[in-house]
Chains A and B, each alone.
Chain A
Amino acid sequence: MHINRYEKTWIYVTGVLTAVMVGVLTFYAIANNIHPPSNVETIDSASLHLTAEFAEENLGVKTNADGSVTVTLVGARYGFYPRRIEVPANTPLKFRMASFDVLHGVHVPGTNVATMVVPGYVSEVNTVIPTPGEYTLFCNEYCGLGHDQMWSRMVVVDNGSAPQ
């Protein structure tokens, strides 16, 4: 089969570019330990409020025995509950989130917290936030008429611990 010289050159160029880009992504994914949240755990979203972990009074921030912090959140139209949480900076945080109704997504600009909150599953994100300040939890999966108003507040407080 005859392929024109110029055509052949461009095929090589695109091939090389693709290989370089995949290489860059792979390198940084491995070097920075970036990976999608991979927890697979099922839960009945309809009766979420009747479970122990996601009962209304058990939501929020809890400090574990080893000093790490677990944040339990429920995504429900239209907010992440509790609507305001306070977490320490430079401390391992584990977010455990579940949806009470439809598909939600949580995205916290300025941090690497971003995951889908799928009905029927518990989403988990582990992170450390080094910079104290006010952060916003946005819903980034269209979930209904109030989607654009679905947000909650996270305050990261400096507790004096060293950067990790």
Chain B
Amino acid sequence: MRKLTIPFAVGGALLFSTAAAEPSSEVAWTPDTYRFAQSGDAANGKKIAVEVCDECHGAGGVSEEDDFPNIAGQLETYLYKQLVDFKSGKRKNRKMRRRVKDLNEQELADLSAWYAQLPAEPQGPEAPGHELVTRGDPKRMITSCNACHGADAKGADLDVPMLKGQPADLFVEMMENFRDGSRANDVYGRMRQAAEALSDEEIEALARYYAGLPVQ
């Protein structure tokens, strides 16, 4: 029995290294993917949402519980990439994977179209902005949030999400996931690196700021 331990350990290590060597996302933003991700049928998306998504994310894409992200008004292309990543396991989340694994890519695009056109809602009182939002901290290699997420935090093509309309606690959780690498579907680790450089206090301040931003 003991003799078998080493081959198993080596085998395990090999398996792990192959798994780690995979790309952080299978989604490549070729013109075809871009067009496809924007071609969803919102009406069909609504039908799927009633059966699959509403229970957690709320009927209008705004969840009643703070544990689930609000996806109303989120960028269509971002939603599509996340759904594909959940399906392929690139973004690890058992609940999400179970729900999307039987949906095909067209259905994922339909869902993205449905949620993208719903109105988002602010999730907290207005909070003061932070220097990191507009200026970043070049010394720590932190690019300002606005540079990618836009001056109004609305998100930007192709897969940079809108930051408004999320509960502050959920924002903190997402940043922690990036920081410890449990969420690693950001290609080339651009968010992982930013999250690692931020302190807990800074993440907290950013979370409150974004939760309190008016959405319109």
B-binding residues in A (CB < 8 A): 44, 46-47, 49-50, 55-57, 59, 74, 76-79, 81, 83, 100, 144-146, 149-153
Contacts and interface: CB of A to CB of B under 8 A. Distances in A.
7 contacts: A46-B33, A49-B28, A56-B24, A56-B187, A77-B147, A100-B188, A146-B147
Interface string B14-36: 00000011011110111101000
B146 A49 contact: no
Interface of B: 20-21, 23-26, 28-31, 33, 136, 138, 141, 143-144, 146-148, 151, 187-190, 193
Contacts of A146: 136, 143-144, 147-148
Contacts of A78: 143, 147-148
Interface SS of A by simple majority? mixed
A101 B23 CA distance: 17
Contacts of B30: 44, 46-47
A56 B189 contact: yes
Contact of B188 (A44, A56, A149): A56
A57 B21 contact: yes
A145 B190 CA distance: 16
Nearest to A81: B188
Contacts of B136: 146, 149
B84 to A, nearest CB: 13
